[in-house]
Structure 1
Amino acid sequence: MKTISLQEILLSFIFLVSIGTFAQSKSDRELILIDKDWRFSLGHLYDTQKDFGHAEGYFSYLAKTGFGDGPAAIGFDDRAWRKINLPHDWAVEQPFSEKASYSHGFKAGGKGFPEKSIGWYRKKINIPQSDQGKIISLKFDGVFRNSKVFFNGYFLGTEESGYNGFEYDVTAYVNYGGENTIVVRADASMEEGWFYEGAGIYRHVYIQKTNPLHLIQNGTYVTSEIQNDDAEVTAETTIENKGNYKGSIEILQTILDASGKEIATISGNTLAPEFYKTIKYISKLKVKNPLLWDIDSPNLYRLLTQIKQEGKNVDSYETNFGIRTIFFDPEKGFFLNGKSLKLKGTNNHQDHAGIGAALPDELQYYRIKKLKDMGSNAYRCSHNPPTSELLDACDKLGMLVIDETRLMGINYYHLNDLKRMIERDRNHPSIICWSVGNEEWNIEGNVIGERITNVMQGFSKSIDSTRPVTVGISSGFKSGISSVVEIMGYNYMGNGDIDAHRNEFKNQPGMGTEEGSTFTTRGIYFTDDAKHYKSAYDVKPRPTFYSIEEGWKFYATRPYLAGMFIWTGFDYRGEPTPYGWPSVTSYFGMMDVCGFPKDNVFYLKSWWGNTPVLHIMPHWNWSGMEGKVIDVWVHSNCDEVELFLNKKSLGKKKMDLYGHLEWKVKYIPGTLEAIGYKNGKKVLAETQKTTEKSESIKLSIDKENVANANVSVITVEVLDKNGLHVPTANDEITFSIKNGKILGVGNGDPTSLENDQFIDEITLASITNLQEQKLSATELPQELPTYLEKDWNTAFKDRDYKNQAKSYVYRGEFDLKENSKNNIVNFFYKKIGVETLVFINGNRVNSSIEDVQKYILSSAILKEGKNTIYIITKPLQKIKDWDVMNTDLGIIQIVKPSEPWKRKLFNGYAQIIIQKEEKGKDVILSVSAKGLKAGVLNLSNKQ
């Protein structure tokens, strides 16, 4: 069997993530990534004035088509809003607050923070005249949450869940040959889960263009059956006709291997579906001697489907798939391609240090490769459909997946979510099981749970018959869901007698969908409840729960159990059990939120992996504890290990299967050394050395990074004079970057309340108390005259637009909380006249060069507190009686530059995630800290 090389995986990945326009086989189909150059601002949950006047109109967007108001209106001025690129998570940008949600990591967002729970996004795009006649769609991979989408002021719809992808047809609303405005309002005030979920457009957005005759979204379903040395591939294709064409069409389908070589093809004819109807077309193709997809050789194929109308290729659609077999046996566990395979899995949320839920695609690969390096071969999506890019990473890197829907139920809301997940994901060979629920305590043990499970299980089978269904169950393994679910999902041994359940339901396969929930803090070896630190030694988290070692021994020694999924692979924001504030992340992970390994990683690597492992814990820096006993553990898969302290043997011990070794050692500074033996021969040596004081900063790009990708993960650490890593260092590191962008920083400290991101603070000040005076002069004064106070009237009140003055002077006020030289203050003027003059506190200001309606205000003419603005201008004239005239002068924008990027090391490590920006220019990352030698990392950017 051929193994796909890492280079092939990376080249494929880089191609997919770097495309802006992806046109397939010269058809009418285009998929254009539109992640760049959005405008963003926070709104307000219930105060419509603070929500930019949205939903205040007499006719709402729900009453009359095209009546989107406030930011949803096509003419809304968003110039003062912040410029961003997607994916974006505004929750991670917020400070921490003890009043915020425990489950979501105490980030200041949600219902208790109405000014932080609504996010507005706006983007302008041009669509050429030549696209007329095509179907134009907006595609969102996910918006958290309860999103409303508008296009050119037209309301398109609402998607409640933050985990569903969705698509809107905007063909009828397009301004062909001109500018078009996309607007999204996200309402993250309500939580869907009990873990950090982020807020905003945290996944990709696309514009899609197709012929009226096209394959629908997720329009192919590829299955395969292996017969002797060949495979029969069945391709079910759903074709839609949004045009008036009637007649025969040709369907041409081709299978390509990883190198692009054509290995099978078939064509056929069928009648086009009727107007706005769909048809299903099924074809079968033979693949001789297929390269099977498995965890070590994740071989992938592509199915190219083309629709030809009167000989012209009108649509082309590519589908990645793999050829493999899966089977769960109630006696022998899980089989992949006919071979027994123990599932060595982890549960994970989509959340990473510094960037929250808005993971760049490269980071999905980074995290899966971290898990693979630990020896893991399986991943459970907890507890919602993941982003497609995560599944792509699992396909290409060889990671098995349990794909999980968000909520159990039998109505359209529940089943439609399940349907969309399965239809989107069913071609991924990595997916081995659909999960339709998790820990539904209210229904797990009763007949309601049975009924719901039977419906969801049968419904899943009607969409994809090739995979079984599971539910994660935690409130007893006796009745209800556990008696009817196809694959039993045991959540924690302590919640019931697994062996007894298996003996009662001997025809039901099972696996540990959650196990562990152990509490550990990376680099901490003595529990300190006052500091909220848990020792990294693997111990029972609660009396009825089990350690990682106990859990793995249980599942590894029972052939009938398919395997175990640990809670969790990575720490995540929220659920800081067993503590509360100021702990802001979980303690469950085998790795911390950055992906830095805790010591349990090496236990798993010993018994999950295929290479020799030798790891000593703890570190050997215990100043002030000389002579005190330290527990020394060794994780290894060697037959025997001998431990030495300063070259004196402390004894050789035999390693038990799935175990670890322990010594009690009195602390003396120096070198702790372990030597591992296999078949009596020395195969490995590992040391922990007492280090000197910190001297210099080291930067290194993590080996799990995707080569030459735009986003890189950098490890920050400090070294002593001998070049040794200092495991107790907690220095604060300051960062600066050239030709790149810092996306986030982290360190894995569960109690750190430091900023995840350092961004400019933008506040907006409204112009209030707007008054006017009529002027008789046609020439505008170049200096501000003195106007009589008695002549001021409310601006625009009872204006007779057929009998206006020759010119007007307007006066208003705005407040500044501070007047700093470092701040940038801009006035974004909205046109209320022609030949406009602007005065601030009596000083004339000129418009900027790049925008004649933007005025940059110097701190020299501003003052803290109340400021006065005067505008002198000739009035605009109504062309039609029903024209609505602008009466809003504009907005004052105050930009407070951020502090320099910084982060404290935590037990020796910190992490920074950077993005390349300017092609052809190397990215230079510089770091410094008080009393330490600075560091520089140069990243080539030759793409």
Structure 2
Amino acid sequence: MKTISPKGILFYVIFLLSCSLFAQNKLERELTLIDKDWRFSFGHLYDTDKDFGHATGYFSYLTKTGFGDGPAAAGFDDRAWRKLDLPHDWAVEQSFSEKASFSHGFKTAGKNYPDKSIGWYRKKINISETDKGRIISLKFDGVFRNSKVFFNGFFLGTEESGYNGFEYDVTAYVNYGGENTIVVRADASMEEGWYYEGAGIYRHVYLQKTNPIRIAENGTYVTSLVQNNLAEVTAQVTVENKGNYKGEIEIIQSILHATGKQIETVSEKTAAPGFYKTIQHTTKLNVNKPQLWDLDSPYLYRLVTQIKQDGKIIDHYETPFGIRTIRFDAETGFFLNGKSVKLKGTNNHQDHAGIGTALPDALQYFRINKLKEMGSNAYRCSHHPPTPELLKACDELGMLVIDETRLMGINDYHLNDLKRMMERDRNHPSIFCWSVGNEEWNIEGNITGERITNVMQEFAKSIDNTRPVTVGISSGFKSGISSVVEIMGYNYLGNGDIDAHRNEFRQQPGMGTEEGSTFATRGIYFTDDAKHYQSAYDKKPRPSFYSIEEGWKFYAERPYLAGMFIWTGFDYRGEPTPYGWPSVTSYFGMMDVCGFPKDNVFYLKSWWGTEPVLHLLPHWNWNKEGKEIDVWAYSNCDEVELFLNKKSLGKQKMEQNGHLEWKVPYAEGTLEAVGYKNGKKILTDVKKTTGAQENIKLTVDKENQPNADVSVITVEVTDKKGQHVPTANNEITFSIQGGKILGVGNGDPKSLEKDIFLDEVTVMPLANFQEQRSSVATENVAVNADENWKEAFKDRDYKNQAESYAYRGNFELKNNLSSNIVSFFYKKIGLETVIFVNGNKVAASAEDPQKYVLNSSILKQGKNTIHIAAKPLQKVKDWDVMNTDPGVVQVITPSEPWKRKLFNGYAQIIVQKDGTQSEVVLSATAKGLKAGSVVLSKK
């Protein structure tokens, strides 16, 4: 018998312990982001040939399990498809057209563009043998729209909503120890909203692995009751069992500080739920002297939920939450943690300049920070469930949220959407109100609306009774929904008599869910309908609508109104009211689609914020000597004095929630405002006539998250003194090293420039594909003979095949450019294959033995011919289906350089670091200007 040394025994013990820990860890939950390395191609709305023959098989995916066909089949060849990372919005990549949808920003996608309304996504992943026994699922945060998902050719389901997240269990379909294929078909032909919605997998996707006994999807619900400096936390957890275990489990609930320090732990034993059943378990925990989640101090605790089976942790789930109290009062408004808070909110859609709806996480923080900088403390998700990262940003930065479902109704489709949204989002302390509808004009004022609201309101209370319910109403405030909704949501004070409604329903709290709707073009100070310019001065937009100032004064002066939500915080694609084509974005925002502030931002900052503010408008580059210019000052100072070239034009007192105006004959030079508080000079703001445009300046926005992999960069032009030129409209060209550009924008509502510059990928099948029998080896097959050619594979007798075959087909090249990359992706139709292009033998690439990269020197403008020589494949069984598709030709035409015109002095570029370089360098050039650059350090 061999003796093991003490050192060997120690090694063996460590090895066993490692195996034990590994096995235990494999029992716990794993959640892996799988956004990288997808393949994408357009299909077609109704032409099945252009939709890759999907759903045309004798046995399709709905007739027999596992028969996903076309791209849904696991073995489908997608090598020629475009490579991309998620999130992805294919609509933003399209051109503009006057014939396209007004509400969706005139992008050539959707029902009227059937070749751009269906998108296919495919991804391959490996799943280990050691994962057997676990529950494997796919989690999607959102796909626009009407998605079908397949896994290894198995149909998993359809999700109509473009906004709700969903999850599929794929455990039974996994190829353990091998490759697995995820396929998503998104159908964006139907518009779900009347605003830009994007298209495709525009939110994150995850692979999840859990024990069969686990916390259910969105399976925790944390509430708290605060009394006498003590918070009693109720932690409800839903446990499900997708296995056969019938014994006892232990549920451990712990609360941790943000620092990770444990506060309290409660452990309780209970019987496991039955097979495919769930149980709900509730634990009470206490937090002494809790740090309350507040707007200025958004403190977050963590609930850690663990499940033990036979003493081993089999699931671990963390829930961030905040401790705070909320209350509406019909007389005195809204209270957070017992303190009166006037809601200073904005409505917002979810798109951003350059990237559409496919926002990187860092952009959520960027946008919320911009709103907070303006003085805003509340955000309404208009008009759909948001991405989880938006709520995470609001939790962490201190922004109250109205969370809104997409559709009103009382059937399973509507209520299930509401339920999923609420169960996903109800642990976010930022959410203070649920909204179950918005401007449903067909039902707002009648009994149908009243009935629907009553059902949805009570249904919402059954899921979360800690927050009230609202609906945004715009067609009068008299009856129907208005008479039964818990918190009245007034959409525009011009749409009804708010005071009269309040006097009739004195026990019903209310707030302005939409107000303002003001038209403004950033940096423009005159209205010119021919040019689609709306003056940035805050004016009444329509007779029945009110300016931002008028709206805020109305709500600020009424304690019974909890506050108001401006329409909107940011401009958005679509709804280019009061214009149409060629305007493609809205004019409503306090900021443009990039987040560059319009002047209205400074009005709100004056009266919403806490810091001293002084802002002059307009700029002072007019070249209109002697012409009277309207000069406004936004400020919360007591008084403001205006100077032109050091000559005082008078001092004025500031009215509460107001602004100041002067008429100033224009003269080049310096316009300066001085703000006084208690008689003392505290602020100045200066507008100068600048010199000629000389330099490009690039600035990384300070609101970017630390260590974020995405940076937002402002592009501007300065004169020789470094002063910003507010009227610059130069076209700037960009290049980058060490990263990639995600999108460009400039805030111009009528810019029809590209948002994204992509290489053009064209995929072509071989046309007129024919064959010729041969009796010689493939190397010696004659490929130029013109005799005895017939349609390939037609009436092939597979029991009496030739020794080898020559095949030929052709493809057209519109441009034979040396910069193009042309490849033939061969699909196996024989053995010992040899490929010839225009008579030239070509070799397979090193990366893929069935890919042939074709040099431009052997290609021709127009028709090109491919010959294939191969020994035939043999059928093993009579019913074997043989491949008859020889492959496709892919042509990649490199895009032109990234570029964008400045609009009134500004443009924006969004950059992503690739993580492999120590730094990213973005450079910018323009004709007649000194180039600029900026260096971004590695993440």
TM-score range normalised by the length of the shorter chain: over 0.9
Secondary structure in 2 aligned to 1:372? helix
Deviation string 1:846-876 (CA, Å, 9 cap, x unpaired) is 1111111111112222223222111001112
Find the aligned partners of 1:358 and 1:174 in 2 and give their Cα distance.
29
Who is 1:375 aligned against? 375
Distance 1:72 1:758 in 2: 29
Indicate conservation of the 8 Å contact 2:344/2:564, yes or no.
Answer: yes
Q: Closer, same or farther in 2 for the Cα pair 1:346/1:779, shift >3 Å?
A: closer
For 1:657-695, what per-residue CA distance to the aligned partner results, in whole angstroms no more than 9, with x for missing partners? 000000000000000000000000000011000000100
* Distance in 2 (alpha carbons) for counterparts of 1:779 and 1:729: 65
Give 5+ residue unaligned stretches, structure 1. Answer: 1-21
What amino acid sits opposite 1:811 in the alignment? R
Q: Which sits farther off after the overlay, 305-314 or 816-825?
A: 816-825
Counterpart mapping for 1:851-862 below 5 A: 851-862=848-859
Cα deviation for residue 770 of structure 1 reads: 1.3
Amino acid at match of 2:760: E
Residue of structure 1 equivalent to 2:844: 847
Q: Does 1:833 align with 2:830?
A: yes
Partner of 1:182: 182
Deviations 1:22-78 (A, max 9, x none): 999875210000000000011111101111111111111000001111100111110
Q: Paired residue for 1:212?
A: 212
How does 1:419-818 map onto structure 2 within 5 Å? Answer: 419-623=419-623, 625-778=624-777, 780-781=779-780, 784-789=782-787, 791-818=788-815
Per the alignment, do residues 658 and 868 of structure 1 end up closer, same or farther by CA in structure 2, a change over 3 Å counting?
same
Identical-pair percentage: 78
Contact 1:809/1:873 (<8 A) preserved:
yes
User: Following superposition of structure 1 onto structure 2, how do residues 229-248 of structure 1 map, counting pairs within 5 Å?
Assistant: 229-248=229-248
Identify the residue that residue 903 of structure 1 maps to in structure 2: 900
Give the secondary-structure state (helix, strand or coil) at the position aligned to 2:434. Answer: strand
Residue type of the alignment partner of 2:62: L
Letter in 2 for 1:833: G
Distance 2:23 2:704 in 1: 28
**Aligned equivalents of 1:160, 1:88: Cα separation in 2:** 18
Query: 3-state SS of the aligned residue for 1:827?
Result: strand
Amino acid at match of 1:856: V
- Which stretch shows the higher mean deviation, 862-871 or 758-767? 862-871
Contact 1:838 1:870 in 2 (8 A): yes
The one-letter code sitting in structure 2 at the alignment partner of 1:571 is D
What is the TM-score with the length of structure 1 in the denominator? 0.97
Q: Which residue identity is paired with 1:759? A: L
Note the C-alpha offset of 1:800.
2.1
| Structure 2 unmatched ranges of 5 or more | 1-21
SS in 2 for 1:895: strand
Distance in 2 of aligned mates of 1:920 and 1:325: 46
Alignment partners' CA distance in 1, 2:703 and 2:515: 26
What residue is the counterpart of 1:327 in the other structure?
327
Rounded Cα–Cα distance in structure 2 between residues aligned with 1:934 and 1:321 = 48
Q: Distance in 1 between matches of 2:452 and 2:249?
A: 42
Q: SS of the counterpart of 2:531? A: coil
> Distance in 2 between the 1:480 and 1:24 partners?
57
Alpha-carbon shift at residue 779 of structure 1 (Å): 5.0
The more displaced of 793-802 and 163-172 is 793-802
Query: Cα distance 1:779–1:612, how it changes in 2: closer, same or farther (>3 A)?
Result: closer
SS of residue in 1 equivalent to 2:900: strand
**Structure 2 matches for 1:861-900, cutoff 5 A?**
861-900=858-897
For residue 794 of structure 1, report the CA deviation from its aligned partner: 1.6
Q: Which residue of 2 aligns with 1:251?
A: 251
Q: Is the 8 A contact 1:23 1:29 kept in 2?
A: no
Q: Which one-letter code corresponds to 1:938 in the other structure?
A: V
- Which secondary structure state, in structure 2, belongs to the residue aligned with residue 394 of structure 1? helix
Tell me how far apart the structure 1 counterparts of residues 27 and 400 of structure 2 sit (CA, whole Å). Answer: 34
Q: 1:888 is aligned with what amino acid?
A: D
Task: Letter of the 1:663 partner, please give it.
Answer: W
Shift of the alpha carbon at 1:404?
A: 0.1
Distance 1:322 1:785 in 2: 74
Contact 1:24 1:30 in 2 (8 A): no
Which AA in structure 2 matches 1:622? W
The aligned residue for residue 164 of structure 2 is 164
Could you tell me how far apart the structure 2 residues matched to 1:544 and 1:748 are?
27
State the one-letter code of the partner of 1:787: A
Deviations, residues 591-629 of structure 1 (Å, cap 9, x unaligned): 000000000000000000000000000000001x11000
Q: Does 1:406 align with 2:406?
A: yes
- Identify which range, 741-750 or 827-836, moves more after superposition: 827-836
Question: 4+ residue runs of structure 1 moved beyond 4 angstroms?
Answer: 22-27
With over 3 angstroms needed to count, the CA separation of the structure-2 counterparts of 1:23 and 1:491, relative to structure 1, is farther
Superposed CA deviations along residues 181-207 of structure 1, whole A, max 9, x for unmatched, are 000000001100000000000000000
User: Which stretch shows the higher mean deviation, 875-884 or 563-572?
Assistant: 875-884
* 2:24/2:313 contact within 8 Å kept: no
Kept in 2, the 8 Å contact 1:220–1:236? The answer is yes
Q: How many residues align?
A: 918
Distance, in Å, in 2 between the alignment partners of 1:821 and 1:242 is 57
- Answer whether contact 1:23 1:31 (CA < 8 A) is retained: no
Contact residue 778 and residue 869 of structure 2 kept, 8 A: no
- TM-score by length of structure 2 reads 0.97
Q: Is 1:824 paired with 2:821?
A: yes
Aligned-partner residue type, residue 301 of structure 1:
Y
Deviations 1:569-603 (A, max 9, x none): 00000000000000000000000000000000000
Contact 2:778 2:834 in 1 (8 A): no
C-alpha distance in 2 between matches for 1:785 and 1:476: 78
**Secondary structure at 1:780 match in 2:** helix
| 1:931 maps to which of 913, 918, 928 | 928
Q: Distance in 2 between matches of 1:913 and 1:659?
A: 36
Opposite residue 40 of structure 1, the aligned amino acid is F
| Cα distance in structure 2, aligned partners of 1:370 and 1:400 | 15
Supply the AA of the counterpart residue of 1:644. Answer: F
Distance 2:675 2:213 in 1: 65
| CA positional deviation for 1:817 | 2.3
Q: Which residue identity does 2:906 align to in structure 1?
A: Y
- 1:146 is matched with 146
RMSD across aligned C-alpha pairs, in angstroms? Answer: 1.2
Aligned to 1:9: none
Q: How much does 1:434 deviate? A: 0.2
Kept in 1: contact 2:27–2:134 (CA 8 A): no
Task: Give the secondary structure class of the aligned counterpart of 2:206.
Answer: strand
Post-superposition CA distance 1:335-370 (Å, at most 9, x none): 000000000000000000000000000000000000
Matched residue of 2:535: which SS?
coil
2:791 is aligned with what amino acid? T
Equivalent residues of 1:23, 1:30 under 8 A apart: no
Aligned to 2:366, the other structure's residue is in SS state helix
For 2:529, the aligned partner's letter is D
State whether residues 773 and 793 of structure 1, in contact with CA within 8 Å, keep that contact through their aligned partners in structure 2.
Answer: yes
> 1: CA distance between counterparts of 2:759 and 2:637?
53
State the Cα deviation string for residues 88-111 of structure 1 (Å, max 9, x = none): 000000000111000000000111
